[in-house]
Amino acid sequence: MTGCRHFLRDDDLSPAEQREVLDLALALKAGAVRRPFEGLPGGRRAVALIFDKPTLRTQVSFSAGVAELGGHPLLVDGALAGIGKRESVTDTAHVLSRQVAAVVWRTFGQDRIEEMAAVASEVGTPVVNALTDDFHPCQLLADLLTVREHRGELAGRTLAFLGDAASNMSHSYLLACATAGMHVRVSGPDGYHPDPAVLARAEEIAAVTGGSAALATDPVDAVADADVVATDTWVSMGKEEEAADREAPFRPYAVGPELLTHAADDVIVMHCLPAYRGKEIAAEVMDGPHSVVWDEAENRLHAQKALLCWLLDRRGAAR
């Protein structure tokens, strides 16, 4: 059996497939039982969880999720493995894909995970992007699941993302929300705007789903009547030396009580964490009645379980 489906960026799922995964996540959260590791070739039950970057929610949610589905989480320390240094990505992929049911990788360049997936396809082993510098698609599945739980149907809803609009989170919001038929606006200061190719792709998807995707440079315009306001740390992993330089230009994009007055009265606020209260989000917002941050964090578990079930059900299927 060769060929399989991977989840490397948000638009790897069609609108219908994204809905299937979210429907399954809701069912799993409600207590539906799935044992996708039963009947896999060679009795494989291990899932390689590779972490090249710091992690809390990703490590815990995937580890717990794989175990709850009947698999065995196999944690791989990226520093010890030295993928791309001690051993090439291609050689690593050949080794892992023959021994595990799936590979989950939190790494740097998008090219690394795409190379891993290209080799893993040869033996039908799905690869999941647990975060790269370009995208964070598993986080967005959890975010969309959270919006569905709190606001119902996703299509037609408006989500505003404020902060570093050039970040992986911004790119994933554009693609995932457009796929869901939502109206997504990303907003950040000059010099921190999304990759034009990603924005164009989101606009292309939205033209089919009935949603929209846009860059709104004014934060008030971005959150106007929004059903959801989301933010993230202003300084991504690996860019800590830029923290001082980012403080002033990003300050207008902080999510505080006054800014939320321009959003819908029942707006919900999300943050993928870790959060820095008093910077990108005010403490009274983070811990206030509009916040669904802890539901969002929990939903990483349910969304990723659903994604693994969905991918393992499609082993041998190439899109």
Catalytic residue among 9, 19, 34, 136: 136
Tell me which of 139, 164, 246, 302 is the catalytic residue: 139
Q: Which of 34, 177, 232, 315 is catalytic?
A: 232
At residue 234's C-alpha, the angle toward residues 255 and 217, to 5°, is: 65
The alpha-helical segments, DSSP class H, found in the chain are 15-29, 57-68, 78-81, 89-97, 110-120, 137-151, 168-179, 196-209, 219-223, 243-250, 257-260, 283-286, 293-313
Q: How many CB atoms lie within 10 A of CB 123?
A: 18
- The pair of structure tokens assigned to 12 is 């790897």
* 304 labelled catalytic: no
Q: Is 4 a catalytic residue?
A: no
Which residue has tokens 């007055």? 261
Q: Is 138 a catalytic residue?
A: no
Residue 300 identity: R
Active site residue 150: no
86 given a catalytic annotation: no
**18 assigned to active site:** no
> From the candidates 272, 302, 304, 309, which is the catalytic residue?
272
Rounded CA separation 262/266 (Å):
11
- Burial of 282-311, coded b for 16+ CB within 10 Å and e otherwise, reads beebbeeebbbbeebbbbbbbbbbbbbbbb
* Separation CA 60–CA 130 (nearest Å): 12
Torsional class of 31: left (φ above 0), alpha (ψ -120 to 50), beta (otherwise): left
Catalytic residues: 106, 136, 139, 232, 272, 300
